[in-house]
Amino acid sequence: MIGPATPRFIPAPDPPLIMSVISEESPNRENLARIAEMFRVFSEPTRLAILQLLREQPLSVNELVERLETSQANVSKQLKTLYEADLLHRKQQGNQVFYSIKEKMVYELCAIVCDKLNRSARASAEIVYQI
């Protein structure tokens, strides 16, 4: 006797790699727009300062406001952008909200950018002193 059919697990196909579109002859504009949006998240100095502060430990909104010496509204706005980009964890403790880094790659990206800026600065300095 054959029993009821056992459902088979069929794995979902792997999601397409966004980075692969960059090397195509005709890039997928939708994927390029998603990449550009992620870079836009890093384009605001206050957001970069928040990421730097959170590197050491989770902080509350109030602690971030104090350390950044800016308004609570501005910090909240920047935290919302970082959170919606899936870069931060958010945890409610009593009447305070604490934020921490969810995606460590932000520091790798910042290191790449800083390295490029340092190379450019050294090259400029060398040119100045080659007179």
87 in Cβ contact with 37 (< 8 Å): no
Q: Does the pLDDT value for residue 131 go beyond 70? A: no
Report the Cα–Cα distance between both ends of the chain, in Å, rounded. Answer: 93
Domains in the chain and their CATH numbers?
32-102 (1.10.10.10)
pLDDT of 43-65, one tens digit each?
999 999 999 999 999 999 999 99
Q: Is the whole model's pTM more than 0.85, yes or no? A: no
pLDDT of residue 107: 94
pLDDT at 81: 97
d(CA 24, CA 41): 25
pLDDT digits (tens, 9 = 90+) for 3-39: 555 555 555 555 555 555 556 566 788 889 999 999 9
Choice between 128 and 75, residue whose per-residue pLDDT is larger? 75
